Amino acid sequence: NTGTKHSTGDMVSSVKKFKRSNESEFKHTIAYAHDICKDAYLALLTGNETKLGKLMNQNHRLLQRIGVSNVQIDKLVEICTKHGAIGAKLTGAGGGGCIIALLTNKQDKNSRVISKIKSHGYDLINAEIDYDGLLAG
């Protein structure tokens, strides 16, 4: 959690402005994001965490392109991926708040990522993917 407050309404307005100014790029970006989501769903179903992490990174780059990321979010994503996370991306509307990072099943790498996040003053919540709940739905 970056601790940065943001306005969902401001982010929606910003995306609308980007869309009006870059209609072709916006359509391409949305189509690509749709493909990423479909592939991420399949990666979750098959337990392919490496693929899921790569897709998270790709999605974050798209969110940067449409202007909903910011310096703090990008810094936190970089900290995570640079120090061992499989993937990371912003969550929610953007503009502040939280990211989600996918860590490996290797405790030493996870400890390094968590340590770096904390050393930069960010809060975090550990969670696990519930594959049983995902598959049951």
* pLDDT (tens digit per residue) in 111-130: 889 999 999 999 898 887 67
Task: Name the pLDDT band for 95 (thresholds 50, 70, 90).
Answer: confident
* 40 vs 133, higher pLDDT: 40
Q: Is pLDDT of 17 > 80?
A: yes
Q: How many helices (H) and strands (E) does the chain have?
A: 6, 2
Q: What is the structure's pLDDT at 30?
A: 94
| % of the chain residues with pLDDT over 70 | 93
What are the strands, taking DSSP E only, across the chain? 87-90, 99-102
> What mean pLDDT is reported for the chain?
90
CB-CB contact of 32 with 60 (8 Å) = no
Q: What is the structure's pLDDT at 109?
A: 75
Long-range contacts for 17-20 (Cβ within 8 Å, ≥24 apart)? 18/66, 18/67
Q: Phi-psi region for residue 111, left (φ > 0), alpha (ψ -120 to 50) or beta?
A: alpha
Q: Is pLDDT of 137 > 60?
A: no
Task: Name the pLDDT band for 39 (thresholds 50, 70, 90).
Answer: very high
Instruction: Name 70's Cβ contacts closer than 8 Å, sequence gap at least 6.
Output: 4, 94, 95, 96
